[in-house]
């Protein structure tokens, strides 16, 4: 009998405490966001999707060499002596033609190590994080726009040897 009334007592106290907690939070501002209508402002150094401003890329391959997951594939060839000189926007001469510059974001671990050695600062981490796709192949980004002039041997993966 005593247990019966003790259980009733605990039940009432528990409900009262719960209602009190609810009442306390009734007038506090909400912290949840109505995503995707509302989004967090990510910090400037947030790491999400990689981007290469390919017109500034000199094809040096330093990014590919440092990548711990080998997700950057670069193929280059020397520009011909008969071709006009071109420069990156910081004035660095571009002596290689980068005809393959692929990043497989499915392998990327977002360490950003590839961005630090880039001499022309063209490879950057962006804050873009909404890039879901239905096909994994769509996570391989092809940045190169040039075509090779020389006859290609078998494709080589990883950092360029040139
Ligand atoms: S962020 Fe890291 S894993 Fe991703 S491409 Fe750059 S070096 Fe490779
Ligand atoms: S380190 Fe920069 S310039 Fe060199 S290949 Fe990579 S993206 Fe291009």
Q: Tens of pLDDT along 8-44? A: 999 999 999 999 999 998 888 888 889 999 998 899 8
Name the one residue in this structure whose structure tokens are 């150094």. 45
> In the numeric block, which tokens belong to residue 65?
């060499």
Q: Does residue 72's CB lie within 6 angstroms of at least one atom of ligand 1?
A: yes
Could you check whether the bond before residue 36 is cis, i.e. omega within 30 degrees of 0? Answer: yes
Q: Is residue 83 part of a domain?
A: yes
Please give the backbone phi and psi of residue 109, each rounded to the nearest 5 degrees, phi first: -105, 10
CATH number for the domain spanning 58: value is: 3.30.70.3270
The DSSP 8-state label assigned to residue 159 in this structure reads S
Given a cut of 70, whether residue 69 has pLDDT beyond it is yes
- Beta bridge partners, 123, equal 52
How confident is the model at residue 162, as a pLDDT?
42
Q: Does residue 160's CB lie within 6 angstroms of at least one atom of ligand 2?
A: no
Of 85-89, 118-122, 151-155, the least confident: 151-155
**Among the bound ligands, the one closest to the CA of 143:** 2
The total number of structural domains that make up the chain: 1
Tell me which residue has its CA closest to atom 4 in ligand 1. 108
In sequence order, what are the residues at sequence separation of 6 or more whose Cβ sits closer than 8 angstroms to the Cβ of residue 148?
75, 77, 97, 99
Q: Is residue 125 part of a domain?
A: yes
Report the percent of the chain where pLDDT is more than 70.
93
Q: Is residue 112 part of a domain?
A: yes
Q: Does residue 70's CB lie within 6 angstroms of at least one atom of ligand 1?
A: no
How confident is the model at residue 161, as a pLDDT?
43
Distance of alpha carbon 110 from alpha carbon 105, whole angstroms: 9
Q: Does residue 89's CB lie within 6 angstroms of at least one atom of ligand 1?
A: no
150 vs 146, higher pLDDT: 146
Given a cut of 70, whether residue 157 has pLDDT beyond it is no
CA-angle at 137, arms to 132 and 143, nearest 5°: 90
pLDDT (average), residues 131-138: 95
Range of the domain at 119: 50-142
> What rounded mean pLDDT belongs to the chain?
91
Q: Is residue 43 part of a domain?
A: no
Distance of alpha carbon 112 from alpha carbon 47, whole angstroms: 7
Q: Is residue 69 part of a domain?
A: yes
How confident is the model at residue 151, as a pLDDT?
55
Å from CA of 106 to ligand 2 middle: 20
Q: Is residue 33 part of a domain?
A: no
**Among the bound ligands, the one closest to the CA of 121:** 2
Q: Does residue 92's CB lie within 6 angstroms of at least one atom of ligand 2?
A: no
Q: Is residue 137 part of a domain?
A: yes
Q: Is residue 157 part of a domain?
A: no
The enclosing H or E element of 140 equals strand 140-142
How confident is the model at residue 149, as a pLDDT?
87
Strand 50-52, strand 72-78: pairing? unpaired
Tell me which residue has its CA closest to atom 8 in ligand 2. 57
């Amino acid at each position: 009998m005593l247990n019966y009334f003790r259980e009733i007592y605990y039940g009432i106290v528990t409900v009262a405490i719960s209602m009190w907690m609810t009442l306390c939070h009734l007038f506090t501002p909400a912290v949840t966001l109505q995503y995707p209508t509302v989004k967090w402002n990510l910090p400037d150094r947030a790491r999400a999707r990689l981007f290469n401003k390919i017109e500034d890329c000199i094809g040096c391959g330093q990014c590919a060499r440092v990548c711990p997951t080998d997700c950057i594939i670069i193929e280059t060839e020397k520009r011909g002596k008969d071709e006009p000189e071109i420069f990156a926007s910081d004035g660095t001469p571009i002596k290689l033609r980068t005809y393959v510059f692929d990043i497989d974001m499915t392998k990327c671990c977002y360490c950003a190590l590839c961005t630090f050695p880039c001499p022309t600062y063209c490879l950057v981490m962006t804050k873009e994080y909404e890039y879901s796709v239905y096909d994994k192949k769509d996570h391989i980004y092809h940045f190169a726009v040039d075509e090779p002039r020389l006859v290609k041997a078998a494709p080589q993966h990883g950092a360029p040897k040139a």
